[in-house]
Amino acid sequence: MLSDGREKEAQIIDAHQDLVRHIEQGAGRIRLLSILTLIVSAFLAVSYISQLILPLAGTKTVTVNLSDPSNVAVELVVLALAVVWLYVGASDLRFSWRMKGQIEAARTKEKAIQDRIS
């Protein structure tokens, strides 16, 4: 009877280890995608800000009229989307960092349980 209990605990620990391993792999992917998102959205935000500043610096016409209200409105909308994208990437990155800390804490508890069982 005692060995059945230990066998069940071992199965639970194995299942838990598989789950944590899967979460760690997912967190790594989230972290990578978040970093890429931050880079791309920052680049887009800077490029759209530069487009909004061009008319103020004296450049009025390149191929299109940069001071046209419809162009400025479109640029502002795209800039807002880029800033939202930047926020989402930053919040995902913060989430994955917090998850990494929680996984490390779970690993520590798991090791303590495993040591207690052995």
pLDDT in tens, the chain (118 residues): 456 667 777 777 777 777 777 777 777 777 887 888 888 888 888 888 888 888 888 887 767 787 889 988 988 888 888 888 788 878 877 887 887 788 788 778 878 877 887 6
- Give the C-alpha distances (Å, rounded to integers) separating 99 from 4, 24, 34, 106: 33, 8, 14, 10
d(CA 91, CA 93): 5
